[in-house]
């Protein structure tokens, strides 16, 4: 049982009830946990450390939200930080680099990224497909979108190094199955720290970073809301971490 894999130790602070944002039907074994302001959590299977003030559901992979309705995993807001993470990841693993590039350019959830096979992105002629069709695990909706140049280049370089008989796109070292979301959490979290990023960065940061970059580029918030399948623009703004200080910055920098 997944709960038995986790050690949650209360250190200080008042505990808060946390609830899995998407799995409210009881199927998620980690749907309800307790969290203190300061805590430690270690997975006995992969040794994944927790991020302070952030918990991701280890059963279904979605971000847990606090009682105020907001998650604590942040988008990577600086393009400089994004490039720094790309450089670091590529120096360590082409697989992890390609996963990061695809994730941050597609808004796919980590569960959808990790279910991809090589045949999903490579055609019968061995070329990277121009676009991809994905049926989302969470919503069961189909998502059809094109690959931009950065994704094509990353996938081309990465896939050229893979064994011809590998099936999963982002396989573990054994090559038979995809890496786990616990592994990707650890990879992203540790990379962010190595790059000097102080915010809580994890799997869900890829999708949030995609949305935040669109917002910064001036894309209408209702368009971003539609891409993320949110119920309101307010939810989308909260999701990507737009707070009052950033709204104030817009007014201060306008100077017409």
Give the model confidence (pLDDT) of 211-235 as tens digits.
Answer: 999 999 999 999 999 888 888 988 8
> Crossing angle of helices 94-104/79-92, nearest 10°?
150
Is pLDDT of 38 > 90? no
pLDDT score, position 33: 42
Residues assigned a catalytic role: 109, 138, 204, 207, 230, 239
Q: What's the first-to-final CA gap in the chain, in angstroms? A: 60
List the structure tokens of 38.
């300061």
Distance CA 185, CA 203 (A): 5
What percent of the chain shows pLDDT beyond 90? Answer: 52
Give the residue with greater pLDDT, 229 vs 130.
Answer: 130
Q: How many CB atoms lie within 10 A of CB 176?
A: 10
| Domains of the chain, start order | 2-65 (no CATH), 79-194 (1.10.443.10), 205-254 (no CATH)
Q: How far is CA 255 from CA 220, 243, 248, 250, 252, in A?
A: 21, 21, 13, 10, 7
pLDDT score, position 151: 97
List the structure tokens of 34.
């307790």
């Amino acid at each position: 049982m997944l709960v038995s894999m986790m050690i949650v130790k209360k250190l200080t602070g008042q505990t808060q009830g946390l609830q899995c944002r998407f799995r409210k039907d009881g199927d998620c074994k980690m749907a309800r946990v307790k969290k203190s302001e300061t805590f430690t959590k270690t997975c006995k299977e992969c040794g994944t450390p927790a991020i302070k003030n952030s918990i991701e559901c280890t059963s279904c992979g979605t971000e847990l939200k606090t009682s105020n309705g907001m998650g604590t995993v942040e988008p990577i807001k600086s393009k400089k930080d994004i490039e720094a993470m790309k450089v670091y990841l590529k120096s360590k693993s082409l697989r992890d680099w390609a996963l990061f590039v695809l994730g941050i350019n597609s808004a796919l959830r980590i569960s959808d990224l990790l279910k991809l096979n090589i045949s999903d992105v490579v055609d019968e002629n061995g070329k990277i497909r121009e676009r991809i069709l994905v049926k989302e695990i969470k919503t069961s909706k189909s998502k059809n979108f094109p690959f931009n140049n950065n994704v094509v280049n990353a996938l081309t370089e990465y896939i050229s190094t893979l064994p011809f008989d590998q099936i999963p796109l982002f396989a573990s070292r054994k090559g038979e199955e995809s890496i786990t979301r616990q592994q990707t959490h650890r990879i992203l979290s540790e990379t962010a720290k190595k790059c000097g990023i102080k915010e809580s960065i994890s799997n869900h940061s890829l999708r949030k970073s995609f949305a935040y970059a669109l917002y910064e580029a001036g894309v209408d918030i209702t368009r971003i809301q539609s891409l993320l399948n949110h119920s309101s623009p307010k939810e989308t703004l909260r999701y990507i971490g737009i707070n009052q200080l950033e709204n104030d910055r817009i007014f201060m920098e306008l100077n017409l």
